Amino acid sequence: MAQGEWFSRVRGPWLAVALLLCVLAGGTVGYVVIEGWNAWDGFYMTVTTITTVGFQEVHPLSRAGQVFTVGVIGAGVGTAFYTFTLLASLVVEGGLHQRLSRRRRQRMLEELHDHFIVCGYGRIGSTIVGEFRRQNVPYVVIEHDPERVHEIIEAGGLAVLADASSEDVLRRVGIDRARGLIAAVGTDAENVYAVLTARVLRPDLYIIGRAETPDAERKLLRAGANRVVAPYRIGARELAQTALRPAVVDFFEMATGAGNLELAIEQVTIADDSGLVGRSIIDTNVRQRFGLIVVGIQRRAGRMEFNPPGDAVMQAGDQLVVLGRSDGLRDLEAAAAQPA
């Protein structure tokens, strides 16, 4: 180990505290040996000496004791001043605050549940996080760029500076308690590794992967992704749709926009013990009772039924795709989760 590295490790708060303890111990032992005092009187005399409190001496000092006291003053006052100054500077300059912040973030990570793990905070990842933040969805970001991690933390989010394909990192961000994982790292290879690692750790986790090429789409699906999204292809499709059917695009943007309070399109899961299980759409009176339109039903097996008829029966685990006001959506979610 180089000498400069050794000094950088030993200097700081621990060195200051160690020096102060050595002075206290040495002073106590010195008074016990030289003056024959008990340990407490020696310790008390040492403390009052190095802190320059100015109380009278515990017992009359001999000439040897006076000389020793001069030495304690010379060594102890400087050491105490150095220690207190260093500790004060740590608090003022934010060292203590940073340690407390790290501990607070660690506690938040340990308490996270039903959250999304976002791998990568580039153009795609930052947009995903912004949407989660607007909709109050819990999330944590895994990013290898320190500046981006700092940006997330400054904005009040949770982020970890690490490799998204590491098993230890995924465990640290609570993959066993997560709702889903989105692999949106910069390269297809990194996304494939992240998806593969997450699938090994959580076979039942819902995983979405970002792909740049058709070949990457196939690899992500083989690695275990439930869905694969190609942002450039989706963007190109929306550009074409905006050119051909602008009114349709405007409608869907209004229905799916996070800032729209009048109209929303959402999916509602029918719980296994819900009172809606085994009942038809017309029987539950979804349109009149909740003010919603059932656009489709995604069956538990994965099949999607568009514009289902009124006699379509809802089963446990089905996902209702509904359109309407947010208050009606909340009421339907409550009904779908309420036991029979």
Complete domains list, the chain, with CATH? 9-92 (1.10.287.70), 113-235 (3.40.50.720), 260-337 (3.30.70.1450)
Task: Tell me the longest C-alpha to C-alpha distance in the chain.
Answer: 106
Mean pLDDT by 10 residues, the chain (340 residues): 44 72 87 87 84 74 82 80 72 59 78 93 92 90 92 89 92 93 92 95 94 90 93 85 84 65 78 89 87 89 87 90 86 86
pLDDT score at 83: 76
Check if the beta carbon of residue 59 is closer than 8 Å to that of residue 35.
Answer: yes
Report pTM.
0.62
Q: Provide the token pair at 285.
A: 């009176």
CA 135 to mean position of chain CA atoms: 16
Check if the beta carbon of residue 263 is closer than 8 Å to that of residue 254.
Answer: yes
Helix axes 63-92, 95-111, angle to 10 degrees: 60
What DSSP state is assigned to residue 274? B
Q: For 279, phi and psi rounded to 5 degrees?
A: -110, 150
Check if the beta carbon of residue 264 is closer than 8 Å to that of residue 325.
Answer: yes
3-state secondary structure 178-240: CCEEEECCCCHHHHHHHHHHHHHHCCCCEEEEECCCHHHHHHHHHHCCCEEECHHHHHHHHHH
**In this structure, which amino acid lies at residue 315?**
Q
Give the helix ranges, DSSP H, for the chain: 3-10, 13-35, 39-50, 63-92, 95-111, 123-134, 146-154, 167-172, 188-201, 214-223, 231-244, 246-256, 281-284, 286-290, 326-337
pLDDT score at 6: 41
- Rounded to whole angstroms, the Cα distance separating 328 from 332 reads 6
pLDDT score at 77: 78
pLDDT score at 52: 75
Give the count of alpha carbons within 13 A of 97, CB side only.
6
pLDDT score at 287: 83
